[in-house]
Chains A and B, each alone.
Chain A
Amino acid sequence: MNISNQYEKWKIFQSSWDDEDFINSLTGFMKLRYRRLDEKVYALLDSYLAFNPEKKFYFLDVGCGRLEFADFLTQQWRTPHEKGPSTQWHYIGLEPSQVQLNQRSLSTPDMEIIQATGENIPLAEMSVHAVLVKEALDHCFDPQKVLQEIYRVLKPNGIVVITLTNDQSYYKRLFPWINHSKKIRQTDHLNFFDANALKKIVQEANFDKIHLETYNYLKLPNGFEKYLSGLSENIQRSLLTITDRWGSGLYPMGGGGMILTAYRPAVKLSIKSRGEI
């Protein structure tokens, strides 16, 4: 696809994107998958904070959509923490689509939204501790530029968490014709990534300590997934956990979803020799 076609597609499907139809079409089982993803992301950020304690944690959510992750965060903070979260989070959501932003407004202090694109993040250099790009990089016009921008706004040793659909999951490889026809219908996806392509693009943006894992190995036809939605949440969770455990052992990069973490390298201080001091 050439640049002007890509741009036209971006303008039509992304600059005024609304995911209401998509959200309404989700089965309960699929919603649980997304909730597990939020939990995984939160756990990663939490462990980052455990090793890099900050009094105030500046967190940027690129492609925040209808603020699903912001909602998840507020739910986490409402759960009984004996002394409340020890770190004060400052959430900044970035979303290009006015339609998405019109759906919501944030009333919680220390949570703010900006209408902007990932290709031109209107934040100062080295201003945030962590960036999340949740299921959004494949919707971007220029993913390379987005990663360069994320690198610019991250503080040294800051973390980026990227989650995406895996274009080379085991079931897409088993049934390539289904994947092909799905891709044609997915007009909102401007790019498709597999594990290698995602790692490569992050490496090219100069990130360090790149780690990628795949999950969501359980994939069934819609009718079966609707049936699973009727089971108790514990059973659904167990099924997802067990299949992820088996799947990652049998086919390590073949899960339906990918989670990548990477860091902006810490500033290397040059040690001056005695003669230079």
Chain B
Amino acid sequence: MISKDLLNLLICPKCHSAVREQTTYLECTACHHQFPIQNGIPLLRVDPHETLQESSPQNLKTHKSQA
């Protein structure tokens, strides 16, 4: 169980929305991604390469050309 204090601070590392606690995991209220809780530790690790690719200039270019 995660303390209420920490839960108030936690956000989804993928979309920065609030998370809510379910029995064994945290769930993002917006993208509904689930993050397990193991021995009281929320596992919210996102691969840094994943977010780098999202914000890389090349990718932004692709988004622009699609728009």
Give A contacts to B, CB under 8 Å.
3, 7, 10, 15, 58, 90, 92, 96, 101, 105, 109-110, 112-117, 119-124, 127-128, 140-142, 145
Could you tell me the distance between the alpha carbons of A120 and B35 in the complex, rounded to whole angstroms?
Answer: 14
B10 touches A105 (CB 8 A): no
B2 contacts across to A, CB distance below 8 A:
112
Residue B57, interface by CB 8 Å: no
Nearest A residue to B42 via CB reads A114
Give B contacts to A, CB under 8 Å.
2-3, 5-6, 8-14, 19, 39-49, 51-52
A114 contacts across to B, CB distance below 8 A:
10, 41-42, 44
Shortest CB–CB separation between residue B55 and chain A, in angstroms? 8
A-B contact count (CB 8 A): 76
Q: Which of A92, A113, A115, A123 contacts B11 (CB 8 A)?
A: A123
A142 touches B48 (CB 8 A): yes
Contact (A112, B6) CB under 8 Å given A122-B12, A124-B11: yes
A110 contacts across to B, CB distance below 8 A:
5
B49 contacts across to A, CB distance below 8 A:
3, 7, 10, 141
B8 contacts across to A, CB distance below 8 A:
124
A115 touches B42 (CB 8 A): yes
B43 touches A115 (CB 8 A): yes
Shortest CB–CB separation between residue A116 and chain B, in angstroms? 5
- Kindly list the 10 A-B residue pairs having the minimum CB-CB distance in the complex, ordered from nearest: A119-B48, A122-B44, A120-B13, A122-B13, A141-B48, A120-B46, A116-B44, A115-B43, A127-B9, A7-B49
Shortest CB–CB separation between residue B10 and chain A, in angstroms? 6
6 CB-based A-B contacts, threshold 8 Å? A3-B52, A112-B2, A120-B14, A122-B44, A123-B9, A140-B48
A10, A101, A120, A127 pick with most chain B CB within 10 angstroms: A120
B10 contacts across to A, CB distance below 8 A:
114, 122-124
A10 touches B12 (CB 8 A): no
Nearest A residue to B56 via CB reads A3
A3 contacts across to B, CB distance below 8 A:
49, 52
A101 contacts across to B, CB distance below 8 A:
41
Nearest B residue to A153 via CB reads B9
Could you tell me the distance between the alpha carbons of A122 and B3 in the complex, rounded to whole angstroms?
Answer: 15
A145 touches B52 (CB 8 A): yes
Q: Which of B19, B44, B51 contacts A115 (CB 8 A)?
A: B44
Contact (A145, B6) CB under 8 Å given A101-B41, A114-B42, A122-B12: no
B51 touches A145 (CB 8 A): yes
Shortest CB–CB separation between residue B66 and chain A, in angstroms? 23
Contact (A113, B41) CB under 8 Å given A121-B13, A122-B10: yes
A116 touches B13 (CB 8 A): yes
A121 contacts across to B, CB distance below 8 A:
13
B42 contacts across to A, CB distance below 8 A:
114-115, 122
B43 touches A119 (CB 8 A): no
Nearest A residue to B52 via CB reads A142
Shortest CB–CB separation between residue A87 and chain B, in angstroms? 15
A120 touches B51 (CB 8 A): yes
Nearest A residue to B12 via CB reads A122
B41 touches A115 (CB 8 A): yes
Nearest B residue to A127 via CB reads B9
